[in-house]
Structure 1
Amino acid sequence: MSIAINRDFKIDLVVIVQDEEKNINKLVRKKYGDNLIIVDSYSRDNTVNELSQYTKQIYSQKFINFSVQKNYAISKSNNEWILTLDADEELTEGAQEVIRELVKKKDIDGYWFPRRNYINDKTYLKHGYFYPDWQLRLFRNHKGYKYSGIIHAQIQIPEKKTRYIKDVEILHSPERSKYNSWLSFFRLINYIKIEGSDLAKSKTAAASFFSGIFLETARHFFRCYYRKRGFLDGYNGFRAAVIFGLYQGNIQMYAFFTRLFRYDTPEV
């Protein structure tokens, strides 16, 4: 896979995958980078075989958490810039040309792009917590920059060295949307367990069942639906705000019961 994004600065497209046979071809065919780096968590489908036609840089590592996987992936990069995308994401048309100009800037080390979270093929949530949903995905390859966070992994770059760019948007496929139906909430169960277990170790975990499930749910729903104007997305915005509120409330509740019964932290 070879395309010159910039004559002076080359970009590695880094993707972590697991059982992404149905999604990955659409992404890698776009050729967003000069080189493709894949870290696979021992996929059981045909993901690795599909990717082998695009790159030789395919590495396997047991999934521990998102930060561990992404830090391992970027450690394999030898180019000046890194672009990270998920297997079910793409960029808007013309993104390559914009990126070509962005990487020329000497005083900037990272760029945030807004992300559209689609709930079907044509509709994405435009308000609430769900847009612009800024993501730091293009950054300079610097040994001091590492990911942190067990689920919502974030590359740690000083804010003053980053810029927010509206001309490139990330398009997040609706296939695994957590907000396209009420049943989508169940896709969050594993995340609730993981984040709740992690929260239980901190001093910010809910002190009671009531403050966990009810107050936290209400707080996030109110902020998402009213303060962030999620109501402008109509019924879709209402459903998404309720699901997100329940997600946050259940994290607190899980942390409360984890402390109460001293459960072990589940594996990610």
Structure 2
Amino acid sequence: MRQTLSVIVITKNEEDRIARCLKSIEKIADEIIVFDSGSTDKTVDIVRQFTDKVFITDWQGFGIQKQRALEKATCNWVLSLDADEEVDEQLASTISALLKSEPKHSAYKLRWRNIFLGKVTRFGRTGRAPTRLFKRETSHFTKDIVHEKVVHQGDAICLKGGYLKHYSVRDFEHLLYKNRDYTCLMATKKFKAGKKSHGIPLALLRSMLTFIQIYIFRLGILDGSRGLLFAVLFAQYQFNKYAGLWALEQSNSSK
């Protein structure tokens, strides 16, 4: 007996990307659930061309928003996507075949293929495989404001056959904006969790080690100029994250 599939997506001002995302899964999804946190563009109108299960809510962070979407799901399995992602045809076929069988595991990781400034990057941090496909009744999201995780039973197995294409940034301006936004969110998250920065010199060392790891050990150098740019920007993100945490420590120590 075929297992049913709910696809959940969270959005805000994604009119240029959401149709691509939803088109990629409309043939394999039994239901599509979208939670929007106040789009001011045509995102919601576009989403309603694919599903009537659209919910407009406030924003309390990625983890809470995805959990809200999960709680509306009714199918056996859930596929969690971001609006800047696309399931390629081979992965869609792989997921469909899996659901027609008896899946042996309760969660699966999907291999990422990163499209960075219009071109596929194959090295650096591209090789990651996030957990996105899981049994509904035995899974939930953490409440993290950013970099939330799926909590599930057993180990998550990497699903071979196809890729989850990730269009990470629209352009260079969006890249810088996203870098800044995630820096602030992560610094705040670490501060609330009681993490320590251990000072600016260590923040700089973390940044340098991050660059070496991505550009050298993970072969980002083979992605040419894009690989170099990505390694530099991610190293900068690491520095800013811990520098931001240090700044929060200083601000609160003087109160």
TM (norm. structure 2) is 0.90
Q: Which moved more, 1:224-233 or 1:167-176?
A: 167-176
Within the alignment, does 1:172 sit opposite 2:166 as a pair? yes
One-letter identity of the residue aligned with 1:154: K
Partner-residue secondary structure (3-state), 2:59: coil
Within the alignment, does 1:138 sit opposite 2:133 as a pair? yes
Contact 2:21 2:83 survives alignment (8 Å) = yes
Within the alignment, does 1:152 sit opposite 2:176 as a pair? no
Inter-partner Cα distance in structure 1 for 2:103 and 2:173: 46
1:244 maps to which of 210, 234, 237 = 234
Inter-partner Cα distance in structure 2 for 1:170 and 1:19: 21
Within the alignment, does 1:232 sit opposite 2:222 as a pair? yes
Query: Which segments of 5 or more consecutive residues in structure 1 lack a partner in the other structure?
Result: 1-6, 264-268
Contact 2:35 2:57 survives alignment (8 Å) = yes
Distance change >3 Å, CA 155–CA 174, structure 1 → 2: closer
Aligned sequence identity (%): 24
What's the counterpart of residue 25 of structure 1?
19
Contact 1:91 1:170 survives alignment (8 Å) = yes
Inter-partner Cα distance in structure 2 for 1:168 and 1:62: 34
Q: CA deviation at 1:144?
A: 4.4
1:114 maps to which of 105, 111, 134 = 111
Distance change >3 Å, CA 153–CA 174, structure 1 → 2: closer
Partner-residue secondary structure (3-state), 2:229: helix
Matches within 5 A, 1:1-268: 8-30=2-24, 31=26, 32-103=28-99, 104-121=101-118, 123-129=119-125, 131-158=126-153, 160-173=154-167, 175-176=169-170, 181=172, 184-212=175-203, 214-262=204-252
Contact 2:64 2:144 survives alignment (8 Å) = no
Residues 71-121 of structure 1 show CA distances to partners (whole Å, capped at 9, x for unaligned) of: 000000110001111112111223232112223334311111111111233
Inter-partner Cα distance in structure 1 for 2:142 and 2:195: 22
Inter-partner Cα distance in structure 1 for 2:139 and 2:167: 31
TM (norm. structure 1) is 0.86
How many residues were matched structurally?
Answer: 250
Q: Which moved more, 1:139-148 or 1:20-29?
A: 139-148
One-letter identity of the residue aligned with 1:205: K
What's the counterpart of residue 3 of structure 1?
none
Inter-partner Cα distance in structure 1 for 2:6 and 2:110: 17
RMSD: 2.1
Q: CA deviation at 1:22?
A: 1.9
One-letter identity of the residue aligned with 2:200: F
Contact 2:221 2:227 survives alignment (8 Å) = yes
Q: Which one has a larger percent strand, Structure 1 or Structure 2?
A: 2
Inter-partner Cα distance in structure 2 for 1:120 and 1:205: 34
Inter-partner Cα distance in structure 2 for 1:222 and 1:9: 44
Contact 1:114 1:132 survives alignment (8 Å) = yes
